Chain A
Amino acid sequence: MLFYLSLAAVLFAVGLFGVLTRRNTIGILMSLELMFNAANINFVAFNKYVWADGLIGQMFAVFIVVVAAAEAVVGLAIVLLLYRNWQGIDTDHVSVMKW
Chain B
Amino acid sequence: MNLIPIVAVELQPIFAWIYRWLEGLGLQGTLLTVVVYAGLGVMVFGVLAVLALFLVWWERKIAGHMQQRFGPMRNGWHGWYQTMMDGLKLLQKEDVLVDTRDKVVFFWAPVICFVAAFLAYVVMPFGDGLIVADLNVGILYIMAVTTFTVISLLMAGWGSNNKYALLGGMRSAAQVVSYEVPMVASILTVILFTGSLSMVDIVESQSGLVFNWFVFRLPFGPVAFMIYITAATAEANRTPFDIPEAEQELVAGFNVEYSGMKFAMFFLAEFVNMFTVSAIAVTLFFGGWQGWEFIPSWIWFLGKTFMVVLLLMLFRWTYPRLRVDQLMEFAWKILIPIAFVNLIVAGWMKYAGWYW
In the complex, A touching B, CB below 8 Å?
A: no
Chain A interface residues toward B at CB < 8 A: none
- Chain B residues proximal to chain A, CB less than 8 Å: none
